[in-house]
Amino acid sequence: MGFSCWPGSSSKRSEERTSKNISRKNKKNDISSNKSKPHVQTQASSDESKVSAYESVRKEEVAKDDQLSVDVKKLNLDDEMSKDGKASKRAQTFTFDELTAATGNFQSDCFLGSGGFGKVYKGFLEKTNQAVAIKQLDRNGLQGIKEFVVEVSILSMMEHPNLVQLIGFCTEGDQRLLVYEYMPLGSLENHLYDLPPGQKPLDWNTRMKIAAGAAKGLEYLHVKLDPPIIYRDLKCSNILLGEGYHPKLSDFGLAKVGPSGDKTHVSTRVMGTYGYCAPDYAMTGQLTFKSDIYSFGVVLLELITGRKAIDNTRERGEQNLVAWARPMFRDRKNFSRMVDPLLQGQYPVRGLYQALAIAAMCVQEEPNMRPAVSDVVMALNYLASQKYDSSSPVHSSRKSMPSSAMNMDDDEKPVSEYELDRR
């Protein structure tokens, strides 16, 4: 009898997909040790990577150190996981045999795709009757053991409906695997671009719901965790979708503990993904919460326009989404030309203006001008609550955006004049 990694289904998604993360190569992160409450501690703080980012930006080449040579045992991963009551309860350890069984020996039918970390397989844990996604670290790949440790440490102490749940890990011999909850609808990227025939594009309401949920996940990292965390890898491929297009952020291997005390930034080697990386961070290596806000703005622009953050198949001047959008923000006559043609005009005009206003604020060049995440959440919650109904003559309510979040109720204003309350 053939093995099926998913009871009742054996569909294979994106088998031929390869990593699109241009910016990852031999990188080195800080390591976070886990604590019993949502609390993170940094042990080391140097990063190395090749980066990227914004048109004129320097490229940061990585240094030397081969991360795969780091002895994971020295990091006391297993010990810490088991010493800590809460973390150990939430992140189980698996044997390699268990994960081999869950994926039918990592058979190709279970292959979901691959990224900088390695290959990802769909699996099924008989013991708990649970579908999972299993990421196997490619020891010759672009990411290393420290990222594995950061991922385990950070994810096992976090719990939020908009963050993907880490179920466990395997560190047997030289194998390094991560076991996550399975997200049946895959990544947001799969639903925005290169849709296979027959796949319906996301409608406006779903796009706003995804944006609001992703913002809530980011708010948890920035505001609710102690100390807060800068995500550093916000992009469409890292927003995974559950039933009903419920979004969750995934991939915390690049996450970094935010600045403490009076400090406004953390100094790091620049890392991230081309097209999503804030220009200020790319230029200076100074990482702030506003770097994530910029990346969020790029994702929101992708949701609205259906254009990729970087698209080399487009003509010059349109390849970098932010560079293309910025001049368009100045005149609202352009707005209807910015919206994803796949929406076929099925969007609320007012909602479009407001969504573009939020995106425009997030991708501002000057980091201090970008809104705080809580303001973004409030504004997007509002937009997501304004359901668009194409059959209704009045497509959106005339209720104004909550004044504590945004002052965006004047239809005559160009986007650049919309203001956020800044904290």
Ligand X SMILES: Nc1ncnc2c1ncn2[C@@H]1O[C@H](COP(=O)(O)OP(=O)(O)OP(=O)(O)O)[C@@H](O)[C@H]1O
Kindly list the catalytic residues. 233
Name the residue nearer to ligand X (CB basis): 166 or 287: 166
Question: Which 242-261 positions form the footprint of ligand X (CB under 6 A)?
Answer: 250-251
27 is in an annotated binding site: no
Are the C-beta atoms of residues 305 and 339 closer than 8 Å to each other?
A: yes
Q: How far is the CB of 82 from Mg ion (least distance, A)?
A: 27
Extract the tokens encoding 341: 């043609």
Q: How many CB atoms lie within 10 A of CB 201?
A: 16
Q: Would you call the peptide bond into 38 cis, given omega within 30 degrees of 0 as the criterion?
A: no
137 binds ligand X, rule: CB under 6 A: no
Told to check if 115 binds ligand X by CB under 6 A, we report: yes
Residue 60 is a binding residue for Mg ion (CB under 5 A): no
Selection from Mg ion, ligand X, none that 145 binds (CB < 5 to 8 A by kind) is none
H-state helical runs in 62-109: 77-83, 85-90, 96-102
CB of 131 to ligand X, least distance (A): 9
Confirm or reject binding of residue 233 to Mg ion (CB under 5 A): no
Shortest distance in whole angstroms from residue 389 CB to ligand X: 30
Strand 118-125 with 130-137, pairing: antiparallel
Which C-beta is closer to ligand X: that of 116 or that of 351? 116
Among 26, 33, 238, 288, binds Mg ion (CB under 5 A): 238
Coil, helix or strand at residue 269: coil
113 binds ligand X (CB under 6 A): yes
Least distance to ligand X, CB of residue 21, Å: 3
Closer by beta carbon to ligand X, 120 or else 356: 120
Tokens 């604020």 correspond to what residue?
A: 361
364 binds Mg ion (CB under 5 A): no
Tell me the C-alpha distance between 212 and 227, whole Å.
23
Span of 101-109, 195-203, 236-244, 380-388 interacting with Mg ion by CB under 5 A: 236-244
The answer to whether residue 285 forms part of the interface with ligand X (CB under 6 A) is no
Which residue is it, tokens 């993904």?
273
Q: Say how far apart CA 320 and CA 330 lie, in whole Å.
A: 17
- 196: CB partners within 8 A, 6+ apart: none
Name the token pair of 204. Answer: 């406006």
Residue ranges binding Mg ion (CB under 5 A): 115, 238, 251
